[in-house]
Amino acid sequence: MKTATLPTVRVLPEIREQAQGLLDKGESLSMFIEDSLRRNIALRQSEREFLARGMAAGARARETGVTVNADESLLRLRTLATQRLITSKA
């Protein structure tokens, strides 16, 4: 697959200096920018999917009248977090 060039981005000299100061060994500024772009794309996709799931859940709740109260939701989230923490330590 061919690569494409992104538009030039103008930033304050301080921002460029900060970015350059954070580069890992062997990492170029271009690599840093590409990584930042990939991460931001993934974050935005995740945010949009999260919002879509929330909107769908709200619509289902309105259609069915079935809801879960806040205390039950928090208990479920705490249980999931605990299970994942235990699994990640194993």
Percent of the chain topping pLDDT 90? 90
Place of tokens 């970015």: 19
pTM of the model: 0.71
Side chain identity at 7, as an amino acid letter? P
**pLDDT at position 90 over 80:** no
Place of tokens 């200096």: 17
Side chain identity at 28, as an amino acid letter? S
Q: What is the mean pLDDT of residues 60-68?
A: 95
Total Cβ atoms within 10 A of residue 75 = 12
